[in-house]
Chains A and B, each alone.
Chain A
Amino acid sequence: MSLGPYASFIVTSYGLVAVVVLLLIVWIAIDFRRQKQRLRELEESGVIRRSGRAAADIR
């Protein structure tokens, strides 16, 4: 597969899309872990939801 004289523009476009999509995935995954960790810490310190259910349990 030859990309011709403008190969750098094509490769940069696909590469940039891959990087931004990966950053979005990683950011969302890290945010999920962080929120679960905060909820666990709060529950361990004795703060409990009014429903009595564990806030970090999402199943």
Chain B
Amino acid sequence: MSLIDLANPTRFLSLTARVLPWLAGATAILLVIGLYESAMAPDDYQQGATVKIMFVHVPNAWLSMFVWGVMSIAALGTLVWRHPLADVAAKAAAPIGAAFTFLALVTGSLWGRPMWGTYWEWDARLTSVLILFLMYLGLMALWRAVEDPTRAARAAAILTLVGAINLPIIKFSVDWWNTLHQPASVFRMGGPTLDRAFLIPLLVMAVAFSLLFVTLHLAAMRNEILRRRVRSLQMMQASQQPA
């Protein structure tokens, strides 16, 4: 099956029915391994056991940006290539991305209180992630507000691409401004500064959460395709009824 075959929603549904159980199983196994590794990780010499919050905070923070990146590619698919599944992919990803961003903000806040002495600080990293969360909510509201899926998809695609400007701002905010948030310690020039005892559980959890996203996203896309079938059948039913 080539990539272009997936443009056919029926073929896409057939594929998701086959791969979803495997993806869900792999996600569950990796999450269990990641949680075990996180529990067994040693305390940090400065942060003590609170370093364990990193194993859930960082994957959610990465995914909050990654999901918007996926939606931006889907937005290009809607506007440029007019791929039939592009806006389905973008619409299905938004609530999942919003959930990851919410978790990144709250777990970051819960990590910040014991380490920084405050739940919240209006610094560049925290504020730009809060803006990302609000943009997710705005996109979801836009999809609900416009009844025609084609019109909603075009407006949402433009908003998504404009919002993508926020991604490099989030990533480099800790370098461009003086922030309370620490600078990058994994994806940076010169390699990770984290010790292997923390890096391995973190990477396992990051892969597990990424698989979780792929699983939930495919399932949500399947639901969105079915929702559009319901809509088109309801319109056919309405047109068949005598005036």
Question: Which residues of A are at the interface with B, using a C-beta cutoff of 8 A?
Answer: 1-7, 9-10, 12-14, 16-17, 20-21, 23-25, 27-29, 31-32, 35-36, 38-39, 42-43, 45, 47, 49, 53, 55-56, 58-59
Within the complex, which residue of A6, A9, A27, A58 is in contact with B222, where a contact is CB–CB below 8 Å? A58
Q: How far is the CB of A30 from chain B (nearest CB, A)?
A: 10
On whether A35 and B227 interact (CB within 8 A), knowing A3-B49, A4-B43, A6-B114, the answer reads yes
Would you call B223 and A20 a contact (CB within 8 A)? Answer: no
Task: A25-B216, A32-B226, A55-B230 are known; give 20 further A-B pairs, CB within 8 A.
Answer: A1-B40, A4-B48, A4-B50, A6-B48, A9-B114, A14-B52, A16-B103, A16-B107, A17-B103, A20-B99, A20-B103, A21-B99, A27-B95, A28-B220, A31-B227, A32-B219, A35-B226, A39-B233, A45-B237, A47-B233
* Bound Cα distance A10, B39 (Å): 11
Type the 1/0 row for B13-50, where 1 means its CB is closer than 8 Å to any CB of A.
11011000000000000000000000110010000111
Q: Provide 21 A-B residue pairs closer than 8 Å at the C-beta atoms, listed in order of the A residue.
A: A4-B43, A4-B49, A5-B114, A6-B50, A9-B50, A9-B113, A16-B103, A17-B60, A17-B103, A20-B99, A24-B99, A28-B216, A32-B222, A32-B223, A39-B230, A47-B233, A53-B10, A55-B229, A55-B230, A58-B17, A58-B226
Q: List, in ascending order, chain A residues with CB within 8 A of B16's CB.
A: 58
B residues sitting closer than 8 Å to A (CB atoms) are 10, 13-14, 16-17, 39-40, 43, 48-50, 52-53, 56-57, 60, 95-96, 99, 102-103, 106-107, 110-111, 113-114, 212, 216, 219-220, 222-223, 226-227, 229-230, 232-234, 236-237, 240
Chain A CB within 10 A, most for which of B52, B56, B236: B52
State the CA gap A28–B96 with chains docked (Å).
Answer: 10
A21 touches B43 (CB 8 A): no
Bound Cα distance A10, B234 (Å) = 48
